[in-house]
Amino acid sequence: MRPWLWNLAQRYRLTGWVSNDPQGVWLEVEGERGALDRFADAMQTEVPPLARLDAVEVTPIPLVGDLAFVIRPSSTHVGQRRTQVPPDVAPCADCLRELRDPSDRRYRYPFLNCTQCGPRFTLIESLPYDRPRTTMRHFAMCADCAAEYHNPQDRRFHAQPTACPRCGPQLELVANGHRLAEHDAALEAARQRLRAGQIVAIKGIGGFHLACDATQNEAVQRLRQRKRRGSKPFAVLLADVATARRWVEIDATAERLLTSRERPIVLLPRREPLADAVAPGQATLGVMLPYSPLHELLCEAMPPLVLTSGNLADEPIARSNEEALTALASLADAFLLHDREIRVRCEDSVVRCDGSWVQPIRRSRGYAPRMIRLPGPVRPTLAVGGDWKGTICLADGEEAWVSPHLGDWEHPQSVSAAEAMIDHLATLFSIEPQQVVCDRHPDYFSAQFAQRYAQQHGIALLRVQHHFAHALALQAEHRFPSDRPMLAVVFDGTGWGDDGTFWGGEWLGVQYGQYRRWGQLRPLLLPGGDAATRQIDRLALALLQRSGEAWSDDLPCVAATTPHERRLLAQLLHRGIGGAVSSSVGRWLDALASLIGIRQVVDFEAQAAMELEALADAHMPAEADFSATLGPNDTWIWDTTPIVRCLLAALRRGETRAQLAGRCQAELVRGTVAMCQRIREHWPFDDVGLSGGVFQNVWISQRLTQELTALGYRVWQHQQVPANDGGLSLGQAWATAYQHDSATR
């Protein structure tokens, strides 16, 4: 803002000054009335790309008689900090031109940037944002960089991370404890190793990646084994849009996302296949374009590269050189390092795109820590989310900051990463939490952390029901009025319910910060507990038993189990013991995927549901009868037995797996709409919210939205935070605005 305001003042021949402090930007301008008015208009209509203008306060002051307009040193006085911290963004066009220009002094320099691009959040240590309060404080500017930094006519005027090959960070390649190359030679050596099928750990802006050649199946499979990745799909780095079009389908929306300054990973329909091990069983491929000058250079004359987080599965991404050399020693054959410190871990963001339908899957680099404005005020609050896809949220007043992705709370490293993130965001925004919020599940690691945090700091501990938090996250990001009724349809894998069972197929009426469970999927026993979430043939057998259908040998789920296993499972199911009870739509989709023969065992969450979506014939109609009965507490219970019988009939008459998968999803959509209609007969509402990880399924989300809209409903979906558990912390924070016993316990 400051360099831009300086140039704006020159345009209108105004004098005065501008300065930063922890609360924002302050300036005094004086000149002719007309010029002042034009300056004020331009200040609100010509904001630079990386600036965010939340409010402008104008106060007339007596004429001072300044002779020039100057940038004053930043103030660090103690006070409430509400300056927004900018996210890290991709190189601008001007910097890319310099990167490719042999006559430029920053030619092929991997760390060039200016006021309009480059790292921000991951190198800021405190506010106000000045070089001494960033990790660039270790690099003294050379005379040329200093001249640019102090020249108001230069686009690097007050560009805090600015540097060049003479005075800035440098590359080195390390393998087996030895430095093998430096500078551009290190980059070239890393590329040679990638071409040779090796795995290279690469230090980026927010942490380390593990990279390999995405066209070499053996290299990709080796990376899977070392990282303990199972079959979970990898994302790939491609040089540009033209290259990406060979591998994925790209429309105007996808191109806009791929080339945006945020540069997320975008999940897009596949075209030509890469190595089989890159994204097995998936109809989509996660692709990203270079998000830093280093990655621009890395892609030169290279095949597509797998680029995955530098960590073991679901742990936090490695941040420092020392951490990476230790934690990734068994994963990488070589390390491409640099000496610019990373203050904050920040993984790649992931976005799902299909035509105009866009939804965040993981909100991190490029988006975090953008402030989300709440529908109303809350006390200073820390919310810790759930145990998976961890994020934390700090909120105060009408402002909330959701952290980048932190990993799963079951890993001690994730707890340490969360503690560091809490301290950092609390310091940046001067928030001292007066309450901490967590999930109601008694065994969640995140809930145990919240309990310890509350005791250590002497503050209140609040617990919010999992699916209500999903609904409130959706309402918070849309600033949905609390007095307007919304039927929140929340479908996910699991969540602790009020009755001590696991929920996950819920129709919640939400109004005035309270919720009522109007509807649910009929609960299913998960025989063997957690084992059933991996061996999903158990879920299919439970569904058959509950539906009164025989375990015939011609069914894939029956053929996958031994006679001994079937006898044991039959006893457990007959007695109704040996496992949790769940209304989860995620588990129900797993059961259907097993029933129709897609797979019987999963090695990562939602694998079967993702493959179900990938296979589904988009044109299959729903044929099963809808069946719902009124259960305890006047809750409508959707019985899916007719769907099971319909699928069995279709399976036995020889329908393809694509047709069967299409039927599964079509039946879910039609049943969901029927439940909404049934509930509307008893509770008036016009707004339907869709939240929970199941709604990352484009097939289901788009068709459900179309059908509900055709019936006159207003349909709300996530746009700022993920529908999955990555958005829970925002919903938990917003729940504290109400303080009702039904909302928080």
* CATH number of the domain enclosing 456: 3.30.420.360
Whether 585 and 670 share a structural domain:
yes
Whether 457 and 601 share a structural domain:
no
Count Cα atoms within 13 angstroms, Cβ side, for 286. Answer: 21
Residue with tokens 């499979």: 221
Buried b or exposed e, range 455-486, using 16+ CB within 10 angstroms: eeeebbbbbbbbbbbbbbbbbbbbebebeeeb
Whether 59 and 186 share a structural domain:
no
User: What whole-number distance in Å separates Cα of residue 650 and Cα of residue 669?
Assistant: 18
Contact in structure between 8 and 37 (CB atoms under 8 Å): no
- pLDDT tens per residue, range 633-687: 999 999 999 999 999 999 999 999 999 999 999 999 999 999 999 999 999 999 9
User: What whole-number distance in Å separates Cα of residue 506 and Cα of residue 614?
Assistant: 25
Q: Residue 132: is the preceding peptide bond cis (ω within 30°)?
A: no
* CATH number of the domain enclosing 194: 3.90.870.40
- pLDDT tens per residue, range 588-605: 999 999 999 999 999 999
At 740, is the pLDDT very low, low, confident or very high (cuts 50, 70, 90)? very low
At 75, is the pLDDT very low, low, confident or very high (cuts 50, 70, 90)? confident
* Inside any domain, residue 693: yes
Whether 53 and 121 share a structural domain:
yes
Name the nearest CA neighbour of 640 among 627, 630, 649, 651: 627
Contact in structure between 202 and 298 (CB atoms under 8 Å): yes
Please tell me the total count of domains within the chain. Answer: 4
Task: Average the pLDDT over 308-316 and give the result.
Answer: 87
Q: Torsion angle, CA of 16/21/23/27, rounded to 10 degrees?
A: 0
Q: How far is CA 526 from the centre of its chain?
A: 29
Pick the last residue of a domain from 305, 338, 360: 360
State residue 180's pLDDT score.
Answer: 97
Whether 111 and 6 share a structural domain:
yes
* CATH number of the domain enclosing 648: 3.30.420.40
State residue 21's pLDDT score.
Answer: 77
State residue 76's pLDDT score.
Answer: 61
Task: Average the pLDDT over 199-226 and give the result.
Answer: 97
State residue 745's pLDDT score.
Answer: 34
Q: How far is CA 12 from CA 6, 42, 253, 669, in A?
A: 10, 10, 38, 59
Whether 118 and 132 share a structural domain:
yes
* Inside any domain, residue 744: no
Q: Torsion angle, CA of 39/44/48/52, rounded to 10 degrees?
A: 140
State residue 82's pLDDT score.
Answer: 59
Whether 536 and 418 share a structural domain:
no
* Inside any domain, residue 8: yes
Name the nearest CA neighbour of 110 among 168, 178, 28: 168
State residue 49's pLDDT score.
Answer: 74
For 203, the enclosing helix (H) or strand (E) is: strand 200-203
State residue 152's pLDDT score.
Answer: 83
Name the nearest CA neighbour of 162 among 115, 126, 224, 208: 115
- pLDDT tens per residue, range 454-508: 999 999 999 999 999 999 999 999 999 999 999 999 999 989 999 999 999 999 9
Q: Which residues pair with 636 in a beta bridge?
A: 519, 630
State residue 80's pLDDT score.
Answer: 55
* Inside any domain, residue 743: no
Whether 290 and 434 share a structural domain:
no
The total of other beta-carbon atoms located within 10 Å of residue 183's CB is 15
Pick the last residue of a domain from 160, 185, 212: 160
User: Quick one: DSSP state of residue 248?
Assistant: B
DSSP-based helix, strand, coil % in the chain, nearest 5: 35, 20, 45
User: Quick one: DSSP state of residue 496?
Assistant: B
Count Cα atoms within 13 angstroms, Cβ side, for 740. Answer: 14
User: What whole-number distance in Å separates Cα of residue 714 and Cα of residue 365?
Assistant: 31
Name the phi and psi angles at 436, rounded to 5.
-125, 140
Buried b or exposed e, range 151-167, using 16+ CB within 10 angstroms: eeebbbbbbbbbbbbee
Whether 554 and 655 share a structural domain:
yes
Task: Report DSSP letters for 452-470, one per residue.
Answer: HHHHHHT-EEEEE-HHHHH
* CATH number of the domain enclosing 117: 3.90.870.50
State residue 742's pLDDT score.
Answer: 36
- pLDDT tens per residue, range 685-715: 999 999 999 999 999 999 999 999 999 999 9
* Inside any domain, residue 742: no
Name the nearest CA neighbour of 466 among 435, 439, 490, 501: 439
Name the nearest CA neighbour of 343 among 404, 402, 261: 404
* Inside any domain, residue 741: no
- pLDDT tens per residue, range 364-390: 999 999 999 999 999 999 999 999 999
pLDDT at 111 over 60: yes
* Inside any domain, residue 78: yes
User: What whole-number distance in Å separates Cα of residue 321 and Cα of residue 327?
Assistant: 10
Whether 635 and 541 share a structural domain:
yes
Q: Which residues contact 257 (CB under 8 A, 6 or more apart)?
A: 264, 266, 351, 353, 358
- pLDDT tens per residue, range 556-589: 999 999 999 999 999 999 888 878 999 999 999 9
Task: Average the pLDDT over 407-428 and give the result.
Answer: 93
Q: How far is CA 369 from CA 424, 499, 603, 712, in A?
A: 11, 36, 32, 36
Whole domain around residue 623: which residue ranges?
Answer: 491-719
Pick the last residue of a domain from 310, 344, 360: 360
Whether 26 and 130 share a structural domain:
yes
Whether 156 and 17 share a structural domain:
yes
Beta strand ranges found along 39-160 (DSSP E):
69-71
State residue 289's pLDDT score.
Answer: 98
Task: Average the pLDDT over 713-718 and give the result.
Answer: 98
Mean pLDDT of the chain: 94
State residue 435's pLDDT score.
Answer: 97
- 391: its two tokens: 């994020």
Q: Which residues contact 540 (CB under 8 A, 6 or more apart)?
A: 555, 557, 591, 592, 594, 595
* Inside any domain, residue 740: no
